Amino acid sequence: MSLENQQMKILRAVEESVGPTERAWNKYNGDVCCRIIKEYLEKNISMDCKVVGPNAYVEGLPTEFDLLVVDKGVSPKKYTNAYPVGSVHFVIEIKKRGIYGGRRDLENAVKKIRRNFESVTDINPDVKCFYLTVQEVSKPKRKGSIKYLEETEEGLRPFEVFALKESRSNKMIKGEWKRLIDYIEG
């Protein structure tokens, strides 16, 4: 199956599982999105790795991450879902609908994600961290409105940002899943 077909299937699975619009079930929606992304990541990652999560940890850090790509043979620390930092290859933050709210909300959320990523890369600079949103506003209706995707990319740089669909137009952003998989394959 082509990566473009996978991207379409991911978007369809998310819509069928949690619906096209946000409900008050944000944690549930987030969990479902993580599980869908995990399923498709597993189809594309190296045989030497596995995807763990949702709700995985890097040993020694208090931060909960949506997904981690770790060495296949590694197990979490006993009684936890925390993996040794030396076995972690990727840390992934996933949102169904990106970051929303006003400019201050966006800035604060981006800063928090950035700090979480830096907490891992400070310990192990070889770990790559990225942010994936299933859908995000990149082309707002009104001039002067917040360009959420662009501002998230700027705020998280040098960490990568991927978006599968544009919220306002409801159109798939072609090639994003391929770009993400290419990034992982490095």
Print the domain residue range for 74. 3-185
Model pTM score:
0.92
Measured CA to CA, the distance from residue 124 to residue 89 in angstroms comes to 10
Q: What is the CATH number of the domain that holds 125?
A: 3.40.91
Domain count within the chain: 1
- Burial of 45 by CB count in 10 Å (0-12 exposed, 13-18 middle, 19+ buried)? middle
7 closest CA partner among 186, 185, 182, 138 = 182
The angle, 0 to 180 degrees and rounded to 10, between the axes of the packed helices 176-185 and 3-18 is: 110
pLDDT, tens digit (0-9, with 9 covering 90-100), for 45-88: 989 999 999 999 999 999 999 999 999 999 999 999 999 999 99
pLDDT, tens digit (0-9, with 9 covering 90-100), for 147-182: 888 999 999 999 999 999 998 888 999 999 999 999
